[in-house]
Amino acid sequence: MNFKELIDDPKADLSVAMIAMVGDKLCFVIQPEKRWIKNDFGQVILPFGGIGGKVEQGEGLLSALARECKEEIGCDCEIVPNKKTSIPIITKNSIIFTEIKNAPYGLPEFIFKNQKSEPGRKDYTYVFVYRSNLLKPENMVPRDNPAIIMMEQDLFLKVMSNQVTLKEAKKQGAVVDTVITLPEEGVLWPTPTPRGYYNLLMYMEKHGYNKYFFHQKRYHNLLVCCGKKDLSYSRK
């Protein structure tokens, strides 16, 4: 498959997201209060997800990612290139490794194919999920979302496999920066980006490839997304 075929798919909306790192911690955003619900036990569900959003008309994927990062948490990011030629395309029920050619600056870590969930959207959305490092994290501040949460990968795995409250996560090392009062007994709940990443980790571990994702080599030749020309494909 050619990378441009994905970008130009007339049935697909395009979005970007990131597996964002601050040192050895994964960084996510907690979504706005209007998206909170309560479970059967009366606990508030706190949905958290990756930094990212919809790609605008004529915008390249990396430019969109840099813009979303600036809008959501107020800092720049640098993309860790994925040197592989075959990446997983993840749906609700499957993980299919697909060889994709001619991707500028390398491929994303994975692509999440999400079926239409809102009126007026196309048949599905391709979410291009890149691994990135956040620049000057001391300048991070929640903007579009009420809070930022950072956690080491071991804690991330616990959050994904159990119902972990915000209070419990903080006791186990999660760092939270918030502009509102969050319910301490609220349960952290993953949206598609962390869920896709977790499913991929479990798949790779099951098939004996966990070291690639848990101890991935850090590349020094990083693309800095801070206003430089984006040569990735854009939808016209």
pLDDT in tens, 168-213: 999 999 999 999 999 999 999 999 899 989 988 888 888 766 444 4
Look at strands 110-115 and 124-134 and give their pairing: antiparallel
What's the predicted TM-score (pTM) here?
A: 0.85
Listed in sequence order, the residues at least 6 apart from 193 whose beta carbon sits closer than 8 Å to its beta carbon are: 17, 18, 19, 49, 50, 52, 112, 127, 129
Of 55, 174, 73, 86, residue with least CA distance to 132 = 73
Q: Where are the alpha helices (DSSP H) in the chain?
A: 3-7, 61-73, 153-161, 166-171, 192-206, 210-214
**So where are the chain's domains?**
3-225
Say which CATH superfamily domain 3-225 falls into.
Answer: Nucleoside Triphosphate Pyrophosphohydrolase (3.90.79.10)
pLDDT in tens, 56-110: 988 999 999 999 999 999 999 998 878 888 889 988 788 888 999 888 777 899 9
Residue with tokens 């990443």: 197
